[in-house]
Amino acid sequence: MMGSEERDREIEEGISGSISRSGSISSSSGLREPLVLNNNNINKRRNTTSQLAIVGANVCPIESLDYEIIENELFKQDWRSKTKNEIAQYICLKWSLSLLIGLLTALVAFFNNISVENIAGFKLLFTNNLMLTQHYHQAFLVYVSSNMILSIIAASLCAFLAPAAAGSGIPEVKAYLNGVDAQAILAPSTLFVKIFGSIFGVAAGFVVGKEGPMVHTGACIANFLGQGGSKRYRLTWKWLRHFKNDRDRRDLVTCGAAAGVAAAFRAPVGGVLFALEEAASWWRSALLWRTFFTTAVVAVVLRGFIQLCHGGKCGLFGEGGLIMFDVNSAHPAYSTPDLLVVIFLGVIGGLFGSLYNYLVDKVLRAYSIINERGPIFKVLLVMFVSFLSSCCSFGLPWLSKCIPCPPHLGDECPTIERSGQYKNFQCPPNHYNDLASLFFTTNDDAIRNLFIAGSNKRFQFASLVIFFVAIYFLGIITYGIAIPSGLFIPVILAGASYGRLVGSIVDSFTVLDVGLFALLGAASFLGGTMRMTVSLCVILLELTNNLLMLPLVMLVLLISKSVADCFNKGVYDQIVEMKGLPYMEAHAEPYMRQLIASDVVSGPLFIFSGIEKVGNIVHTLKVTRHHGFPVIDEPPLTDAPELCGLVLRSHLLVLLKHRTFTKERGMTGSSIMRKFKAHDFAKAGSGKGINLEDLDISEDEMEMYVDLHPITNGSPYTVLETMSLAKAAVLFRELGLRHLLVVPKTPARPPIVGILTRHDFMPAHVLGLYPHLDPHKQRAD
What confidence score (pLDDT) does residue 448 get? 84
Better-scored residue on pLDDT, 24 or 606: 606
What confidence score (pLDDT) does residue 347 get? 96
Better-scored residue on pLDDT, 651 or 78: 651
Are the CB atoms for 644 and 743 separated by under 8 Å? no
Average pLDDT over residues 648-670: 86
The 3-state secondary structure of 397-449, one letter per residue: HHHCCCEECCHHHHHHCCECCCCCCCECCCCCCCEECCCHHHHCCCHHHHHHH
What confidence score (pLDDT) does residue 13 get? 35
| pLDDT class of 683 with cuts at 50, 70, 90 | confident
Residue 749, pLDDT > 70, answer yes
At 452, is the secondary structure helix, strand, or coil?
A: coil
The Cα 618–Cα 669 span in angstroms is 20
Bridge partners, residue 403, by sequence:
432
Average pLDDT over residues 235-252: 78
At 374, is the secondary structure helix, strand, or coil?
A: coil
- Domains in the chain and their CATH numbers? 347-397+420-508+515-579 (1.10.3080.10), 610-626+644-711 (no CATH)
What confidence score (pLDDT) does residue 316 get? 67
| pLDDT class of 528 with cuts at 50, 70, 90 | very high
Mean pLDDT: which of 224-228, 336-340, 563-567 is highest?
563-567
DSSP conformation class of 583:
P
Are the CB atoms for 537 and 502 separated by under 8 Å? no
Question: Which is nearest to 68 in space by CA: 717, 673, 712?
Answer: 717
| pLDDT class of 21 with cuts at 50, 70, 90 | very low
What confidence score (pLDDT) does residue 329 get? 54
Residue 412, pLDDT > 80, answer no
DSSP string, 280-322: -S---HHHHHHHHHHHHHHHHHHHHHHHHTTTTTBTTB-TTSS
- Give pTM, 2 decimals: 0.89
What confidence score (pLDDT) does residue 36 get? 37
Determine how β-strand 611-613 pairs with β-strand 403-404.
unpaired
What confidence score (pLDDT) does residue 17 get? 32
Residue 56, pLDDT > 80, answer no
| pLDDT class of 11 with cuts at 50, 70, 90 | very low
Question: Which is nearest to 459 in space by CA: 392, 517, 389?
Answer: 517
| pLDDT class of 493 with cuts at 50, 70, 90 | very high
- Which strands, in side-by-side order, build the sheet including 58-64? 52-55, 58-64, 180-182
What confidence score (pLDDT) does residue 234 get? 61
For 190-238, what is each residue's pLDDT tens digit?
999 999 999 999 999 999 988 889 999 999 999 988 876 556 656 666 6
What confidence score (pLDDT) does residue 330 get? 56
End-to-end CA distance of the chain: 37
For 132-188, what is each residue's pLDDT tens digit?
788 889 999 999 999 999 999 999 999 999 999 998 899 999 999 999 987 788 888
